[in-house]
Structure 1
Amino acid sequence: MTNKRAFVTAHKAQYAVSTLCLLLEISRGWFYGFPASQPARDQRQANREVRDQELLPKIKTFFRVSKKYYGSKRIHRDLLAADEVVSERRVARIMKENKVSPLIRKRRKPITTDSNHKLKPSPNLLEQKFHSQTPNTVWLADITYIDTDEGWLYLAGVKDMATREIVGWAMEDHMRAELCCAALEMALGRRGPVPGLIHHSDRGSQGGFNRSSQCLVYNST
């Protein structure tokens, strides 16, 4: 804004002030009142700096208590609990200006496949032939994990190899066998058991599920 006022001042001899203000999208009142308001702006800036210096030690204290893991949101909550009236935006700015940065905690990723168990797997009827032209001939099943604010969630899916359509799925906060069974039950409910259908999955950590149905064939009997 200071540059805009300087521009108007430099060119007001050649052009009308109203025209220059319209061009720069500022008001004539602001242009003429700028010098008078400068002391007030300087005072506000000084007050802000004083307040920042009051808050900085408290921010550092809460940050140290958190073992350097808290970000601006949590420290802001701690300040409010300590009866400090301050915005989260201000806390974030003070932390950034003073290089108070939380450590990034690496979360251990879940392991969805574990072949190191004594459970006997079903025979691999697919034999690595991952191509099919007929729907409801081969279903592929797997589990993935999703990082959320509340922790890891696990998504089990069943996909038709021919159409690439997800025919069944289930999501839970665990990887027990019932997660996989729920996805399979949804697929069966939508498509129905088809004679000769192969359900193929890897040997994951859900031993009870994979032992009995790593590869299932649904017969007409």
Structure 2
Amino acid sequence: MNVHPFIEAEKNAGHSIKRACDLLKVSRAAFCARRSDKPSERRRQDAELTERISQVHAGSRGAYGSPRVHAALQQAGTSCGRRRIARPMREAGLTGRCRRRRVRTTVPDPHATFRPDLLNRDFAPSTRMNTRWCGDITYTATSEGWLYLATVIDIASRKVVGRATADHLRTSLVTKALTAAWQTRKPRPGLTFHSDRGCQGGFN
């Protein structure tokens, strides 16, 4: 049976710890050592704060860092400083996500020759294959940096007929995509190709 709670009650009542330990045949040193292991009020508050921080962080799907977690807690009525938030987050391994810098792939070349829109923005599918193509460039983030993808699509079938990837946005990226599409389909004369007025000469 653990008699330490009885000794603690005697202490709170103003009685002698030594006499209580002698009567219950408990080492006074052991009792004092056990009392020192109890969590302090600061530790208890830190544990509660960490729990609130974890809830806010999980609610943001791991996107919030300490500034936004601090703002959310302040709005919810929890008053504390930003540094008080940052330390428990660091100890719990909670970090926010930084938005990646957006990459513009459609940058009109002011010196490029103007080309009329031969499709008149009509991208509806048709039954005639290899008469209308369109192309564009997209990108995705990888562990080694940005990866750019140039595609050529047959509007009639919505099928990608040519593509190329590279770690740059130079003209060679899109000319490779167009070359791949040409070699795959070998269209007859009269094909119309549409693209945005980007900085890559191959798509113009």
TM-score, length basis structure 1: 0.48
Gaps in structure 1 of 5+ consecutive residues: 1-94, 215-221
State the identity %.
43
3-state SS of the aligned residue for 1:180?
A: helix
Aligned to 1:118: 111
* Match for residue 152 of structure 2 among 142, 158, 161: 158
- d(CA) in 1 for partners of 2:90, 2:119: 59
Aligned to 1:180: 174
Work out which of the two has the higher radius of gyration on C-alpha atoms and give 1 or 2. 2
Count of residues in Structure 1 that have an aligned counterpart in Structure 2: 116
Q: Deviations over 1:142-194 (max 9, x none)?
A: 00001111111000000100011110000000111110100000000011132
* Match for residue 109 of structure 1 among 98, 102, 126: 102
Equivalences for 1:166-205 in 2 at 5 Å? 166-205=160-199
Aligned to 2:140: 146
Task: Quote how far apart the aligned CAs of 1:200 are.
Answer: 0.8
- d(CA) in 2 for partners of 1:180, 1:168: 10
Aligned to 2:53: none
Aligned to 2:131: 137
Aligned to 1:98: 91
- d(CA) in 2 for partners of 1:108, 1:137: 37
Tell me how large the CA RMSD over aligned residues is: 2.0
Gaps in structure 2 of 5+ consecutive residues: 1-87
- d(CA) in 1 for partners of 2:145, 2:114: 30
